[in-house]
Each structure stands twice: as structure tokens, then as C-alpha cells.
Amino acid sequence: MARTQATSLARRLALAVLVALAALLAFAGSAFAGAIVPESGGSPNADHIATLYKLILVVAVVIFIGVEGCLIYSLFKFRARKGAVAAQIRGNTRLEVGWTVGAALILVVLAVFTFALLPSIRNPPNSGPAGLQLATGTLVASGPPKKLPPNGKSLNICVNGQQYIWRFTYAADCSNAPLNSPFSYQQMVVPVDTTVTLDINAQDVAHSWWIPKLGGKFDAIPGYTNHTWFKIPAKYAGTIFTGQCAELCGRNHANMTAQVRAVTPAEYERWLDQRKQDIKAADDAAAKERSQLQQQQTP
Amino acid sequence: MAATTTEVTTTTTAPVPQIVARRVEPERTGWTSWVTTTDHKRIGIMYLVLTFVFFILGGTEALLMRLQLSQADNTLLDPKTYNELFTMHGTTMIFLFVVPIMAGFGNYFVPLMIGARDMAYPKLNALSFWLLVAGGLVFYGSVFFNPPECGWTCYPTLSEAQYLPNGGVDAWIFLIHLTGLSSLVGAINFYATIANMRAPGMGWGRLPLFVWAILVYSILLILALPVIAGAVTMLLTDRHFGTHFFDPSNGGSPLLWQHLFWFFGHPEVYIMVLPGFGIISEVLPVFARKPIFGYKAIAASTVLIAFLGLLVWAHHMFATPSPTFVLIFFMLGSFLIAVPTGVKIFNWVATLWRGTVEFKTALLFCVGFIGTFLIGGITGVFLAVFPVDWQLTDTYFVVAHLHYVLMGGAVFGVFAGIYYWFPKITGRLMSEGLGKLSFWLMLVGFQVTFLIQHSMGLDGMPRRIYEYADVGHLELYNMISTIGSFILAAGVLVTAINVLRSLKHGPVAGPDPWKANTLEWFTTSPPPVNNFDVVPRIRSVEPMKDIRRQIARQTAGAGEAPPAPAPESAVRA
């Protein structure tokens, strides 16, 4: 039958495409980042998302070629010609049950892929040996439902979205951060090989935290705290990762950019100390100016 | 309304006249006849014309946005105008074009396809249309003041009075209310019409698939619209009367809005595409000269898609703070929808298989629909996998996906419907040459515009930004997309010209130019006010095929006694 011939041909074709695609993605995957594959490379969760995406892409391309192929083939092969008579077929229960089950099975496969990779995307790992050595009790996040590394130690940073800038507070407990916690705007500085957990919220309208190479988007919604993590490999010390707000937050939504600068742990600690001193100096200067103004005003 | 008539009976067992005219009034003419009409066909025409005007408006807004984005750091539009444009574009296309144009087709063709004289409630039908007009006026009235700039999703807290104090958001809220009421009244009308006014013999298993689609469309509207009506009312009271439903600083929740909005918003997607599916299921078999493959599977999958469509709303919210269990539930639910959708696509391809395919413009749009919608369906599976969605959501990948679904799905379906049914509505055929030109321009323009947008999203470009820096290949990608959008617009323009030209100059179509299957082709083109003088008894899904076969038999075997059940179906000479 023409039908079975066509299916076996389609099957062979599909197999060939599958092999070719898998090879292409395996050897040149990074070359496609930002064109047909999401960006990755800055953190294991971003890498695993890209892997999951590629697995789905392979299945998708096979289905795409199969269905579009059948469509174009039937249009070409069965176009109206002199003497051609249309077969008056109203259905075929076995075939229809077959493709329903087939479609469901493909989705089961995709679900298996997802569940296999989910833990490595959702759950943060321990910091590496080259990372910041986190003493217990300081800079350690706590409390459910946030995911923590198995050893419970992570460098926690509070991310706060505001029209139209990101504020980063370097504190372990974001809901109760000390008033003198170091902070920065727009650029976050983090040590490499260290698991960084983020507590994300917003103070005015909804925003969305997104640095493509460091993993997916996490909405910053006023009244809620969202969580994600990343761990930048040691070789990226000195690299700046960029991203921008991904949820419409007003007229200058397009200009709400963010940067994550990866540095060595030693450099990070130096930077943090410098920030603390700078902030203290600025506070002192402001306090001094305030008292001067008060003295001027009092006769 | 020309003739005051009395229906004597609907079941014909003896060849007696079915409708007796007691008195004939002169037909009204002029614009007042349109304003006061309750004829489903005239209301249908007004729906189609009005919504097409909104389509042109929404399309123009899209072209302006594409112009702004054609260059990196472009300064053609300021951020306020750009935000207003994408808000108006999305809102117009969804609430003033796709949903109501389906109501327009439904209005015109549901009564004709089921052999009814009009809708169940003709005056409510007129109310539906005029509420839509009111919604459109209120919304576009804001152009002269401050159009909304919160996107078609209008998430609080951005849409609260504190952040967008001007009246634009309120105009948007009233549009939702007015078009929502319009659709709700229309949906009840469709449901009552389809449930009660089918021709004798037309059981649920013989209902045309387009009518199945409109039935399910109506049920979805009835289930989903009250939720959004409630949500926008809460937003309105938040903005003006001091409530705090969505204000977190006073115990409210912006996430509540997202849940309510998408509980409506996701069924809305199926409200838009299911009637498109219905059009495809009508047109394909006609031009393949073959019965639809798996009628029951297509009808059942329509119902199943609608049911599942009510259970997957939070897949629009995968990036919000939600427990993993919730994310998994909505991922698997979204996977499930792919099965009945896939079944439909397979059935359509199988309908073409071993047929004799006639490449009329209507068929081309159907094929363009299947090929394009397939891509939207596949990218939908990517987005259903929530870890992958974390990278893709709120980027141009999603913009591409939704246009593949709605433009490829609904709009190509609408154009297939226009080319297929124009002869019935006007009595004249459209130009096939211009039609095919329009199809190819639209198909090529569409793919050039939107395929590259997947890459823009993967390259890090979020949606709803008025400018971008030239990093990666963004400027190149955007330029390609802009060029495509103008090709697409040219395609739409060709069809608009084709429609206007064919109204006067198209060849006369006759009652059944396509040798089609359903009952609307049984009456004259355009149909008389009362639609049918006699309604035939329905014996299959393809009543017109039965009638043609019977005529052939009766004219061939002249003199012989007609077959036993023949008088059951009265045939107009």
C-alpha cells in the first residue's frame, strides 16, 4: 500500500534527520546560541535549560518535517487532474487511535526529559573549591520555600526591581537586612564558583529578573519574593553578564538593564569592604552636612 | 423583515408549502435599514466589515511598531507612544477583530448551515453588534486623550491609578466590559440557536464542524467572560473607589489579577482559534472533493481542547513565584492539549490524502493555515516546558509563537472564510488571481516577519521594548522582520482591493459555485431575507451532496417512480 510505503520512507527520513540534528547540536550547539538555542554558559541551570531545549528541538524538527512533508506531498500528489476521482474515505479508526496514542507518547518522552533535568535546573549545587568560603552563620540564606544547596551554604543577594533600575542588597536575610548592608544599583558583583541565591522582589510595579546566560526569568512582583540561583564557573572571573527587565514596567521598560560582574572571591571581598567604606563615608558626609545645615538654621 | 411570515411546520412529510406569507411589506432601504436591522445576515455583514476595519487599524499600529524597531536605538517613536501602540494593537486584534469576526461569520452562517430562518433572538443579536460598536468607540475615543499603555494584559500594579493615572486604562476597562457583554449576549444567542433551531434530521452527529466550533466558542465565552468582567471591575474600583484588590501595600495581590486574567485569557486563545479550525474543517473537504476525515474525532477534539483550555491558564505565569507542583500541573495540562490539536492537524492532512485537490484561494489559505499553525503548536510545546519557558517567556519568541497561533491559526482561517463565503454573501465570485497573489504575499510576508522573531527572543530581546541596543544580530533580525511585515501588509491590501473590486465586477456566483457540502449553499446567493422557502430533511453531514445526488437520480430516471423516501427532502428547482 502507498500508505505503508510512505510511512516507512518517512520513518527512515525522520531517523536520518534525527541523527544529523543530534550531531549538529552536539558539535556546534554553542554556535547557535542566540539564534536557534537559548543563551547559556554562565551557570549550570542555564546550561541544563539549553540542553532540555535542544532535546525538545530535535523532537520538534522531526515532527515538523514529518507533518509538513505529508502536507506538501499530499497537495502535490493528489492535486486535481483529469480523470482523477477522490477516494470517499470518512475515517479510519485504527489509524486515528494510532496517531492519538503516538502524539501522547511523544509528550510522555518530553515529560521524561523535563523531569530528568529539572532537579539540576531548580536545585542549587554546593559552591566549588575556588569559590567564596562561606562561614556558617554569615551570608547564609535560610527558610523555606527557597531552595538551598545541599550543604545549606550560599551567598544570598536581595534583588529589588524599581522603575527603572535594579537594586542589589548584599545580605543574608532580605526581609530583615541590616540597615548598613552594602548595596549597589544596576551592576551586581559576585564571586565565581560560588552558589549565589537571589531573593527577588519589586517595590513598585512588576518587573522580571533575567540574565540569559545565568538562567531563566523570575518575575519580581510587589508583595512576593521569588527565588533563583546561579553559579558562575571560575574561568569567567572578570566577565560581565548582561540582561534586562523582561516584564513591562512602564515607559522606560526598555532601559531597565542589569549587569552581573563575576570576580574572584578575594576581589569580591575587597569590593564588598570598599562598598561598605564608601557607603559609610557617604553617610558620614551626609550626616555632617545635615548637622551643618541645622546649625545654620538655628540662630 | 420584508415579509411577515408564519411558520406552519418544520418537518416535511408531505409536499405542502412550509411558510405562508400573509402580507408583504416593501423592503426597507438606505442606512436606517442597516441601523434597525435584526436580520442575522445584515448583522453578520456589519460585523465582518467593522471588524475588518479594526484589523486594518490594528495592522497599521503594528507597522508603526515595526518601523520603530527596524533600527537599533531608533527615535521615530517616543516610549509613551510605543507603549500605547502595542497596547492598542493587541487589544484591537483580540477584542475588536479576531473574536468578533468569528461572531460575524457565525452570525451569517450558523443559521444558514443549520437551516434556520434567523438566530434565536434577533433583537439580542442586534444588541451584540451595537455593544461591539460601543466598545470600539470608547476604546478608540481614548486616542484623542490618553490611550492605555499597560499592554493588552494590563497587569497591576502598573495599571493602578498610582502608576497610570490617566483615563487610558479606564477606556480599556470599558472596552473589556462592552465587548465582553457583546460576546456574552452573542454566545447565549448562538447556543440557543444551535440547540433549538436545527433542520429536521440534523442531530448532533450531523452538525457541520463550523457550527460545532461556534457552539464550543460560545460555551467558552460564557465560562470565561464573567471572570474577566469581575477582574476589570475590581481594577476599576481599585483605580477610582479606594479598594485594594491588587495593591500589595494594602493586602491586595497583583498575582490575583494574573490568575483571573489568564483564567479568561487562555480560553480566549481557543475562543479565537476554534472557529478558525471550524472554517478549515468546512473548506478543506470541499476542495479536496472528499469527506472530512474523522468527523467525530474533529468534533470531539474541539470539545476536548476547550475543556483542557480551561485548565492551563497558569502556563502564562511560569516565571511568577509559584510552587514546583503548580508548575508541573500546568506543564502537563498544556502537554495534553497538544494531543487533540495534533489529531486535528493529522485529520486535515488525511482529508487531503487521496483527494482531488483544487487549488482555489480558499484552499490555499487552509493549507497555509495548517503549515503555519503547526509551527505555532510546536513552539507551544517548548513554552509548556516550564524550565525552557523561563528563558523564552516575555521575549520575542513568545511574540512569534502567539502570532503563529493567532495569525497563522485564526487570521488565515478568516481569510479562507472570506474567499470561501464571499460568493454566498454577495452573489459574486472574487478574483482568483488577486486572491492567490494575496495568499502568497501574506504567507511569505508572515514567515519573514515572524520566523526570525524566534531568534530575536533567543538572542535576548524582551517583548514590549521601544528600543534596543545593537548587540548580537538584533538589528539585522529586526530589519528582516520589518521588511516581512510590509510584505504581509501588502498581501492584506490585495485582498481588501479584491473584495471592493469583486463587489461590482466579480462574475455572478450562483447558489453553489464550489459544489459544497453544507446547507448555506442550498439557497440563493445572496440568500433571501427568510433564508429558505423550504428546509430539507438532513440525512448526513453533507446535505448538499445528498441533494445533488437526488437531483441527478430524479432527472436521469425521468418517468420512473422516485425512490421511497424522496419526498422527504423538498428541493428548490
State residue A299's pLDDT score. 66
Q: Is B395 helix (H, G, I), strand (E, B) or coil?
A: strand
A39 occurs within a structural domain: yes
Residue A187: beta bridge partners?
A259
A134 occurs within a structural domain: no
Question: Are residues A217 and A113 part of one domain?
Answer: no
Residue B295 CA, chain-centre distance (Å), reads: 21
Count CB neighbours of B125 within 10 A.
26
Report the C-alpha gap between A12 and A30 in whole angstroms: 28
Instruction: Give long-range contacts, CB 8 A cutoff, 24+ apart: A90-96.
Output: A90/B291, A90/B292, A90/B293, A90/B294, A90/B295, A91/B293, A91/B294, A91/B295, A91/B296, A91/B297, A92/B293, A92/B294, A92/B350, A95/B350, A96/B294, A96/B297, A96/B343, A96/B346, A96/B347
A138 occurs within a structural domain: no
Q: Do B254 and A110 touch (CB under 8 A)?
A: no
Question: Are residues A185 and A71 part of one domain?
Answer: no
Q: Do A103 and B249 touch (CB under 8 A)?
A: no
**Interface residue of B280, B308, B346 to substitute, partner A, most A CBs within 10 Å:** B346
> What do you get for the CA distance between the two ends of chain B, in Å?
24
Alpha carbon of A281: minimum distance to chain B alpha carbons (Å): 33
- Residue B516 makes CB contacts below 8 A (sequence gap 6+) with B286, B544
Alpha carbon of A296: minimum distance to chain B alpha carbons (Å): 38
Q: Is B303 helix (H, G, I), strand (E, B) or coil?
A: helix
B358 to chain A: closest CA residue: A80
User: For chain A, what is the HEC assignment?
Assistant: CHHHHHHHHHHHHHHHHHHHHHHHHHHHHHHHECCCECCCCCCHHHHHHHHHHHHHHHHHHHHHHHHHHHHHHHHHHCECCCCCCCCCCCCCHHHHHHHHHHHHHHHHHHHHHHHHHHHHHHCCCCCCCCCCCCCCCCCCCCCCCCCCCCCCCCEEEEEEEECCEEEEECCCCHHHCCCCCCEEECEEEEECCCEEEEEEEECCCCEEECCHHHCCCEEECCCCCEEEEEECCHHHCCCEEEEECCCCCCCCHHHCEEEEEEECHHHHHHHHHHHHHHHHHHHHHHHHHHHHHHHHHCC
A74 to chain B: which residues are within 8 Å by CB? 349, 352-353, 355, 357
Q: Is B70 helix (H, G, I), strand (E, B) or coil?
A: coil
Q: What is the average pLDDT across B17-33?
A: 76
User: What is the band of A140 on the pLDDT scale with cuts at 50, 70, 90?
Assistant: very low
A216 to chain B: which residues are within 8 Å by CB? 319, 387, 389-391, 393
State residue A297's pLDDT score. 82
Please give the positions of B annotated as active site: 89, 118, 152, 182-183, 266, 268, 270, 281, 315-316, 341, 344, 463
Q: Do A222 and B157 touch (CB under 8 A)?
A: yes
Count chain A–chain B contacts defined by CB atoms under 8 A: 257
| DSSP letter assigned to residue B21 | E
| Closest Cβ–Cβ partner in A91, A110, A243 for B294 | A91
A140 occurs within a structural domain: no
pLDDT in tens, B58-83: 999 999 999 999 999 999 999 999 99
Q: Do A221 and B151 touch (CB under 8 A)?
A: no
- Higher pLDDT: B334 or B6? It is B334
Alpha carbon of A69: minimum distance to chain B alpha carbons (Å): 10
Q: What is the average pLDDT across B3-28?
A: 59
Count CB neighbours of B485 within 10 A.
23
**Interface residue of A45, A82, A253 to substitute, partner B, most B CBs within 10 Å:** A253
**Interface residue of B68, B397, B465 to substitute, partner A, most A CBs within 10 Å:** B465
Q: Do A39 and B459 touch (CB under 8 A)?
A: yes
Residue A51 CA, chain-centre distance (Å), reads: 12
Q: Per mean pLDDT, which range of A136-150, B171-185, B245-259, B442-456 is the poorest?
A: A136-150
**What DSSP string runs through B306-339?**
HHHHTT-GGGG-TTSS--HHHHHHHHHHHHHHHH
Question: Are residues A186 and A100 part of one domain?
Answer: no
A188 occurs within a structural domain: yes
Counting beta carbons within 10 angstroms of the beta carbon of residue A2, is it exposed (0 to 12), middle (13 to 18) or buried (19 or more)? exposed
pLDDT in tens, B301-322: 999 999 999 999 999 999 999 9
Q: Per mean pLDDT, which range of A23-27, A32-36, A101-105 is the poorest?
A: A23-27
Residues B411/B98, Cβ–Cβ less than 8 Å: yes
| Closest Cβ–Cβ partner in A68, A118, A204 for B387 | A118
Report the C-alpha gap between B259 and B255 in whole angstroms: 6
User: What is the band of A14 on the pLDDT scale with cuts at 50, 70, 90?
Assistant: low
B342 to chain A: closest CA residue: A103
Q: Do B158 and A248 touch (CB under 8 A)?
A: yes
Question: Are residues A286 and A160 part of one domain?
Answer: yes
Q: Would you say residue A232 has pLDDT above 90? A: yes
Q: Would you say residue B573 has pLDDT above 70? A: no
pLDDT in tens, B459-474: 999 999 999 998 889 9
B466 to chain A: which residues are within 8 Å by CB? 253-254
Residue B497 grid coordinates: 482591493
Q: CATH number of the domain at B37-568, please?
A: 1.20.210.10
Here the CATH number for the domain that contains residue A108 is: 1.10.287
Q: Do A81 and B356 touch (CB under 8 A)?
A: yes
A101 to chain B: which residues are within 8 Å by CB? none
Look up the domain containing A219 and give its range: 155-296
Alpha carbon of A219: minimum distance to chain B alpha carbons (Å): 5
B345 to chain A: closest CA residue: A67
Q: Do A254 and B392 touch (CB under 8 A)?
A: no
Count CB neighbours of A176 within 10 A.
7
Q: Do A103 and B394 touch (CB under 8 A)?
A: no
pLDDT in tens, B550-568: 999 988 765 444 444 444 4
A249 to chain B: closest CA residue: B158
pLDDT in tens, B185-237: 999 999 999 999 999 999 999 999 999 999 999 999 999 999 999 999 999 99
State residue A25's pLDDT score. 64
Angle subtended at Cα A15 by Cα A10 and Cα A18, rounded to the nearest 5 degrees? 120
Q: What is the average pLDDT across A130-140?
A: 62
User: For B24-60, what is the HEC assignment?
Assistant: ECCCCCCHHHHHCCCCHHHHHHHHHHHHHHHHHHHHH
Angle subtended at Cα B133 by Cα B131 and Cα B136, rounded to the nearest 5 degrees? 110
Alpha carbon of B137: minimum distance to chain A alpha carbons (Å): 25
How long, in residues, is chain B?
573
Report the C-alpha gap between B330 and B327 in whole angstroms: 5
| Closest Cβ–Cβ partner in A49, A75, A253 for B352 | A75
Which of B400, B405, B402, B408 has the alpha carbon at shortest distance from B480?
B400
Residue A283 CA, chain-centre distance (Å), reads: 36
User: What is the band of B4 on the pLDDT scale with cuts at 50, 70, 90?
Assistant: very low
Question: Are residues A8 and A62 part of one domain?
Answer: yes
A117 to chain B: which residues are within 8 Å by CB? 387
A136 occurs within a structural domain: no
A122 to chain B: which residues are within 8 Å by CB? 324, 387
Here the CATH number for the domain that contains residue A209 is: 2.60.40.420
Domain boundaries, chain B: 37-568
Q: What is the average pLDDT across B136-161?
A: 95
Alpha carbon of B573: minimum distance to chain A alpha carbons (Å): 27
Residues B254/B155, Cβ–Cβ less than 8 Å: yes
Residue A9 grid coordinates: 520512507
Q: Is B20 helix (H, G, I), strand (E, B) or coil?
A: strand
Question: Are residues A196 and A113 part of one domain?
Answer: no
**Domain boundary residue among A122, A142, A174?**
A122
Alpha carbon of B152: minimum distance to chain A alpha carbons (Å): 11
Q: Do B472 and A34 touch (CB under 8 A)?
A: yes
Q: Do B454 and A37 touch (CB under 8 A)?
A: no
